[in-house]
Amino acid sequence: MQYNHDKVDEVALALLYLTLGEPLGDSNRAWKGVAWEVSNRLYEKGWIEDPRNKNESLVLTKAGREACIRLFKQYFWEPTASSNEHNAPANLFPLPIDMERLIWLYQLPENEPTFWLRYLDSATGEIMAEQYDEESGAIQPTADLSSDPRYLSIPAQSDAEYLDDIREYTAFLQQGELKTALTNLLEGQEFTPAVRIEIRSLLRNHDRWEKWQRKRIRQRLLVWLASYGIKPKQG
């Protein structure tokens, strides 16, 4: 039978999380319970120490233990609606992620034609996305990596999220021309691309809105990253 060895190895390592000793932070041992050929590949990848012994447990290396926690959360952890930057689970795997670029990509509309394919490499933190060349007018494509669990498809801001943010921000504004104009646009109209363009025009160069929305987007992205067992690396 043919199968993807790398995916099997990742899931096998992730499942060792369930038998890591308690408390989690004090142990790197897990019960043996995977096929020999799989444990041998885990050893060859540097995730566990040599399994060829009489012990009933496997010993994870430092890199293996970090990957075990990250992969378990990537494949199996389900975030709750109350998840946020402060109550995300411990032991998230730190990755050097360009959060500014991630936020910028997230802000692009769901139907943005030049950025359909955009991924985060869950092993390195690298961001890959189709790029639009303004000089040539051509799109520099990126490969379709959706079938590889290592590459996470970066979400896009939905119209519903954008509308919720605009409504909440408008409610906090003091009375004035901007609040009146936004209220008129939001009331009794279908949210069309034309309405979105008009809202963006009103809020262009409005620093308070930019900072407010970027904070909201960052919070959403932190929850999304945590759902895969990842957090941005500090520094």
Query: 16-25, 64-73, 102-111, 127-136: which has the minimum mean pLDDT?
Result: 16-25
pLDDT greater at residue 59 or residue 113: 59
pLDDT of residue 227: 77
Q: Is the per-residue pLDDT at 115 higher than 60?
A: no
User: Do the Cβ atoms of 82 and 61 come closer than 8 Å?
Assistant: no
Q: What is the band of 23 on the pLDDT scale with cuts at 50, 70, 90? A: very low
pLDDT of residue 34: 76
The first and second tokens of residue 155, run together, are 């979400």
pLDDT greater at residue 93 or residue 91: 93
Average pLDDT score over residue span 49-66: 82
Domain residue extents for the chain? 5-75, 79-235
> For domain 5-75, is the CATH number 1.10.10?
yes
Cα separations in angstroms, 28 against 38, 49, 64, 184, 202: 18, 11, 9, 59, 55
pLDDT greater at residue 8 or residue 86: 8
For 67-77, the pLDDT digits (tens) are 887 777 777 76
pLDDT of residue 211: 87
For 203-226, the pLDDT digits (tens) are 888 888 888 888 889 988 988 888
Please give the single-letter amino acid code of residue 123.
A
pLDDT of residue 79: 53
3-class SS string, the chain: CCCCHHHHHHHHHHHHHHHCCCCHHHCCEEECCCCHHHHHHHHHCCCECCCCCCCCEEEECHHHHHHHHHHHHHHCCCCCCCCCCCCCCCCCEEECCCHHHHHHHHHCECCCHHHCCEEEECCCCCEEECEECCCCCCEECCCCCCCCCCEEECCCECHHHHHHHHHHHHHHCCCCHHHHHHHHHHCCCCCCHHHHHHHHHHHCCCHHHHHHHHHHHHHHHHHHHHCCCEEECCC
Q: Is the per-residue pLDDT at 142 higher than 50?
A: yes
Answer yes or no: pTM beyond 0.85: no
